[in-house]
Amino acid sequence: MPKLTVEGAGEYEIPAGKRLVLALEQDAGVDQLHACGGQARCTTCRVEFVAGEPDQMTVAERNVLAAKGVSGVRLSCQIACDHDMTVRVISRLAGSGRKDAGHPPAVQIEPAPEWVKK
């Protein structure tokens, strides 16, 4: 099983292929934001990679990051845990002023992923 290391939180064995946003929330117990419910629209599921950043991304991730002018982060709703990775959590419910973390993301990556090189 791939290992997910969350800076300041710990190391977790994650079922292979699990969405990173769900691994953060369910396995690592992080109050990760995902306001749009994992639809690659809001970018609140953003994380910083310390190690193991995937070298591919979905077209949806590429497009929304470009549209919002965001760089240096990746969208946890658009990443599958298929290898070891270390991330820094930078977008949490705590301190956000929001009432909840957002709609629950589906098990599978949405929209249906079309992969491109990062």
Instruction: Say whether residue 109 binds ligand FES (CB under 6 A).
Output: no
Task: Please name which of 4, 8, 29 lies closest in space to residue 17, comparing C-alpha atoms.
Answer: 4
Site for ligand FES contains 35 (CB under 6 A): yes
CA nearest neighbour of 105 among 31, 6, 36? 36
Residue with tokens 């599978």: 108
Among positions 5, 9, 31, 41, the unique one binding ligand FES when judged by CB under 6 A: 41
Residue 57 in the binding site for ligand FES (CB under 6 A): no
Interface with ligand FES includes 75 (CB under 6 A)? yes
Give the burial class of 61: count Cβ atoms within 10 A of its Cβ; 0-12 exposed, 13-18 middle, 19 or more buried.
buried
32 binding ligand FES? (CB under 6 A) = no
Q: Quick one: which of 4, 14, 22, 36 contacts ligand FES (CB under 6 A)?
A: 36
Q: Are 48 and 92 in contact (CB under 8 A)?
A: no
Which range in 3-11, 34-42, 47-55, 65-73 contacts ligand FES by CB under 6 A? 34-42
The footprint of ligand FES on this chain (CB under 6 A) covers a number of residues equal to: 13
Query: Residue 46 is inside which H or E element, if any?
Result: strand 46-51
Residue bearing tokens 């990679």: 49
| Interacting residue with ligand FES among 23, 24, 77, 81 (CB under 6 A) | 77
Which residues of the chain form contacts with ligand FES (CB under 6 A)? 34-36, 38-45, 75, 77
